[in-house]
Amino acid sequence: MRNLILGGARSGKSRLAEQLAVASGLAVTYIATSEPLDGEMNERVRLHRERRPADWGLIEEPLALAAVLRAEAAKGRCLLVDCLTLWLTNLLMLDDPQRLAAERDALLDCLETLPGTLILVSNETGLGVVPMGELTRRYVDAAGLLHQAAAERCQRVVLTVAGLPLMLKGPAL
C-alpha cells in the first residue's frame, strides 16, 4: 500500500503517518529528509524523535530519496518518508535543475514498483496566496506538481486538517 498524507504546518500529518506505520504491524524505517540548520528545526526534529518507537530504523537522506527507497523497500516492511516538501526544498536550494528533475523523476518512477508499505508525508502549500518571490513560486509550483504525480501513483491519499484525516482517495483509515 502506497500512502500520501498531505496537510499544512502542524496539521497532524506526521502523527497520522506514525499511527499508520504502527498499525501496519510491520518493521518500520523512518526516512527523514530534513537538514536541521537552525534551533527551531532542531526542536521539531527532537519532538519527532521522542514520539517515534525506539525499535524503528532511521535513515537521514536529504537528496537521494529514490535510491534509499529502492534499497530499503521490502515485503513485510513499512517505510515512512517525512517529508517530501523538505526533500524538494533541499533540491531546489542546490540550484541544479537537472539534479532536481532527475531525483523527482527517479522518485516517481519507483513509487509503483516498491514492495511493502510506503507512507509519504508532505506539506500542502498550494492553498494560500501566490507567493511574491521567484524561488517561493518555484517551490509551490514544484510541490503542487509533485503532489499530483505522487497522488496518481498512491493507493491512498489523505489530507489532514486540525488533526483530522480527510480521505481524498482509496480505502478509509
pLDDT for the residue 127: 84
CB 123 within 8 A of CB 33: no
Counting as low any pLDDT under 50, the low residues of the chain are: none
Identify the H or E element spanning 6.
strand 2-7
pLDDT, tens digit, 9 for 90 and up, residues 1-34: 999 999 998 899 999 999 999 999 999 999 999 9
CB 107 within 8 A of CB 67: no
The DSSP output letter for 116 is S
pLDDT for the residue 35: 83
CB 168 within 8 A of CB 157: yes
| Alpha-helix runs per DSSP H in 52-155 | 65-72, 84-93, 97-111, 134-153
Q: pTM value?
A: 0.94
147 given a catalytic annotation: no
Say how far apart CA 14 and CA 26 lie, in whole Å.
Answer: 18
CB 63 within 8 A of CB 90: yes
SS3 75: coil
pLDDT for the residue 27: 98
In degrees and rounded to multiples of 5, residue 83 shows phi and psi of: -140, 165
Say how far apart CA 151 and CA 3 lie, in whole Å.
Answer: 8
Residue position matching grid coordinates 488533526: 163
pLDDT for the residue 156: 98
The one catalytic residue among 44, 48, 70, 169: 48
